[in-house]
Structure 1
Amino acid sequence: MKFLETIRLTAYEVEYIDQRQAKPRTIRRETVVLDGDRLAALERLGMRPAGYLAQQFERSGYTVATIRRGETINAHVDLAELWDKTRKEIELQQVVAAAARLGGGSDAAE
C-alpha cells in the first residue's frame, strides 16, 4: 500500500555578505527551501519568510543584501520509500562511526 504525502516547497534566493571577510567583500548567493508547514507556522507567528530568513542569516554573522522568492513546487513523497531510505542511511552512518571508533580514525570509512 502506498502512502503519499504532498509537500509544498518554496525556494528563496538569498544574497548575503560576510562582514568578517576582508574588503572587497564577495556577495554570496544561497538557495533556501522552505516547506509549506514552515511557511504556515511563520504566518501564524506574524512573520514574513524574508524576515525569518534575514534573521537566520544575521544570527550567523552575515548581512543580507536581498531575498527573492523563487519557484514553488509540489513534491509527492512515498512515505514508505522515504522511511526505508532514511533507515538505511542511519544504519550506514552507525556502521561507519563504529568502524571509525574501532580503527581509531576517519580512514575506516574509506
Structure 2
Amino acid sequence: MASSAELLQGTLDLLILRTLAMGPMHGWGIAQRIQQISREVLQVGQGSLYPALHRLEYRCWIVAEWGPSENNRRAKYYSLTSEGEKQLEAERGQWERMTAAIALVLNQAEGEAQ
C-alpha cells in the first residue's frame, strides 16, 4: 500500500481537489473517500492531509466552513472554489501528460530489453 508519505505533494493536492469536486467533505471524510476509491491502496494520514488542506485553502482553491458532522460534533467542511475547479482541470491535464510520458519511457525500456 502507498502511504501519503510516498505520494508526491502535487499528487495529494490533485486527489483532494478531485475528491472535493464530488461535494463538500470534512477532512476525515476526504481521507476515507480517497482510500475507498483507490480500493484501499492509498491511505492519507492526518500528518499529510491537514497540511495539504491548509495549503489548498491558502491558495484559495478550497474554502472551509464549520458544521455538524454525522455524529453531531463540530467539523470543518471543505469545498472546492471556482479557482479550485480550474486548478483541478489544469492539474488533471498535467497528470495525464506526465503519466503518458512515463508509460512511453517504461514501454520503450521493455521493448529494448527484449
TM-score, length-scaled by structure 1: 0.32
Higher fraction of helix: 2
Whose RCO is larger (CA < 8 A, sep 6+)?
1
Higher fraction of strand: 1
TM-score, length-scaled by structure 2: 0.32
